[in-house]
Amino acid sequence: MERYDLCVIGGGPAGYAAAMRAIDFDKRVILIEKNKLGGAGIYDGALSSKTMWEFSTRYRKVYDELGKDRADSNLDITFDDVKKNVEEAVFDRKFQLTCHLRIIHAETELITYEKGVANFVTDKEIQITKENGEDVVIHAEHTIIASGSTPRKLPNIEVDEKIIMTSDGIHHMDDFPKSLVIVGAGVIGCEYATIFANFGKTKVHIIDRAERILPFEDRDISELISQNMEKQGVVIHRTSSLKRMEVKNGMVEYEIEGKDGSVEVITVEKALLSIGRVPNIKSLQIENAGVKMSKRGVHIGDEDTQTNIPHIFAVGDVSGRIPLVNVGEREARHAVVKMFADFPVKPINYDNVSTIMFLNPVVASVGANEKMLRDENIPYRIAKVDYSTIARAISMGKPEGFFKLIVSDDDEMKVLGMRAAGTHASSAIQSVALLMYMDKGIDELAHMIHPHPSIVEGVQEAARMLLGKSIYKSAVFKDKLKCYSCRDGVCAPLTVIDSERKIKYEDIANHYHEED
């Protein structure tokens, strides 16, 4: 029986990161993947969908610049073009991972890669069932479960991945569908609605059980995205529940019921279920290792990546926290350090996780939003800067969007979170995430010299607004800049006083208005 210091189950982003971090500790590792190295993160997840989004965004930009008549006659695109673009990106990433793994194996002999299905025999013995049916049992002193997840399905809807699909099938169609219904108005559903709306060849419907899409975000984000979707012809079925969906004569017929009880039956060419994902746990037989599930019984239970069995860890989608590639990788690396480091390891802090939603426009976020803080009755202050006041956005001809900086309602003004919607939003979020990680206020951000012209200058101006040192005053540009505080569910304009000159912004605004 082969013996290893660490067995990693799952070769997706989290599993791969864990294996490579273990090599840093000079440990002998076996990496087991049942399907394709890189997992859903490459083939039917973040890389493929974001490549598709980038392509659709470039296409839409050219289309809008040409104008409809010229674009329709001169700009041609097929779904094969889209698939080729995605396949090239997938191949590049797969080639990188595979070559890297082989070279590491050849140079160090510390890592072994096995393709097959893993399941626990005991807490330290794992059976690998290979493609040829051969069973091999290995011994591992430590194990990381990074087996990922698969798209959630509904029990009364038959998914064939051709007509009714999940994200596993949407990239493999033969052509743009003339019409598509998306079930689920969360991040993934809205991203695919944006992609197909950008190409302009598909009539997109999206079913939203809540009164607005992206219900976990603040209303200003939700409304901006939904307005742009509807401008591009997307039909949003708000406050609607799906009663029935089935294939009839090669088409999808679905029935929805509105909040008022009204029923509507609609026929489209394709359907996409985007209702979340479920962890890949069943085949692992974790009960043989004594590993317990979470209290909800959906995910593996863990404490800072460590399960109830001290030498078995769970990371990524199976841990049930934030199902993102960057979070899974961070958890995996953290788990390895906890196993093998000879120094104390701080728990992972999930409060400053940066995320991106590939919509129109892009939305980036970190930390809390207003909805979260109101739900927990936490007082806060807000500075909101419209993109139309940022020189870089003006020069790019992309003035749509805003920065919203959220801080504690006290003299320290610790950063609680930020939302950015607009071009370059994802690049602007990280400075705020760093402040949160360092438990700092906004003074450092306000006093830095940012590159000019750049979008991140808007973040700095938001910090200056809260400190009473902004260039544009919110009391003057009320439609472009907002500065307010919220406590006990009541929000009111923030009386900001310049800390050096002791002048209220409201006094300045009143002076300007009197002169007018």
Q: Is residue 71 part of a domain?
A: no
Contacts of 10 (CB under 8 A, 6+ apart): 32, 33, 39, 145, 146, 147, 148, 280, 316
| Residue 330 and residue 324 in contact, taking contact as beta carbons nearer than 8 Å | no
Same domain, 108 and 236: no
- Please say if the pLDDT value at position 510 is more than 60: no
Same domain, 268 and 290: no
User: In the prediction, which pLDDT does 496 show?
Assistant: 53
Contacts of 486 (CB under 8 A, 6+ apart): 370, 373, 374, 379, 380, 381, 382, 409, 492
Residue after which a domain boundary falls, among 275, 302, 325: 275
Beta bridge partners of 273: 183
* Percent of the chain predicted with pLDDT > 90: 76
- Please say if the pLDDT value at position 503 is more than 60: no
* Percent of the chain predicted with pLDDT > 70: 96
What Cα–Cα distance (Å) separates residue 341 from each residue in 100, 146, 438?
24, 20, 23
Pairing mode of beta strands 481-487, 380-386: antiparallel
Q: Is residue 253 part of a domain?
A: yes
Same domain, 469 and 394: yes
Q: Where are the alpha helices (DSSP H) in 424-515?
A: 425-428, 430-437, 443-447, 457-467, 505-515
Q: Is residue 499 part of a domain?
A: yes
What Cα–Cα distance (Å) separates residue 116 from each residue in 34, 104, 385?
4, 20, 52
Q: Is residue 185 part of a domain?
A: yes
User: In the prediction, which pLDDT does 40 show?
Assistant: 87
Q: Is residue 239 part of a domain?
A: yes
- Please say if the pLDDT value at position 312 is more than 90: yes
Q: Is residue 482 part of a domain?
A: yes
CATH number for the domain harbouring residue 371: 3.30.390.30
User: In the prediction, which pLDDT does 505 show?
Assistant: 44
User: In the prediction, which pLDDT does 437 show?
Assistant: 86
Of 221, 250, 245, 501, give the one whose Cα is nearest residue 361.
221
Same domain, 333 and 375: no
Q: What secondary structure, in 3-state letters, does 358-413 show?
A: CCCCCEEEEECCHHHHHHCCCCEEEEEEEHHHCHHHHHHCCCCCEEEEEEECCCCC
| Residue 141 and residue 155 in contact, taking contact as beta carbons nearer than 8 Å | no
User: In the prediction, which pLDDT does 451 show?
Assistant: 86
Q: How many domains does the chain have?
A: 3
Same domain, 252 and 231: yes
Q: Is residue 157 part of a domain?
A: no
Mean pLDDT of 393-408: 94
What Cα–Cα distance (Å) separates residue 366 from each residue in 369, 370, 403, 410?
8, 12, 12, 20
Q: Is residue 345 part of a domain?
A: no
Same domain, 224 and 372: no
Same domain, 290 and 141: yes
Same domain, 266 and 292: no
Same domain, 221 and 269: yes
Predicted confidence (pLDDT) per residue in 97-153, tens digit: 999 999 998 988 899 999 999 999 999 999 999 988 899 999 999 999 999 999 999
Q: Round to whole Å and give the CA distance between 418 and 461.
A: 13
Same domain, 139 and 283: yes
Residue after which a domain boundary falls, among 253, 275, 297: 275
Q: Which H helix or E strand runs over 500?
A: none
Same domain, 210 and 104: no
Predicted confidence (pLDDT) per residue in 58-69, tens digit: 999 999 988 888
Pairing mode of beta strands 29-33, 263-268: unpaired
CATH number for the domain harbouring residue 27: 3.50.50.60
For 71, the token pair is 């674009």
Q: Round to whole Å and give the CA distance between 300 and 313.
A: 9
Residue after which a domain boundary falls, among 340, 369, 391: 340
Mean pLDDT of 358-374: 95
Predicted confidence (pLDDT) per residue in 122-137, tens digit: 999 999 999 888 999 9
Q: Round to whole Å and give the CA distance between 26 and 5.
A: 10
Domain that holds residue 282: 3-44+84-150+278-340
Same domain, 426 and 472: yes
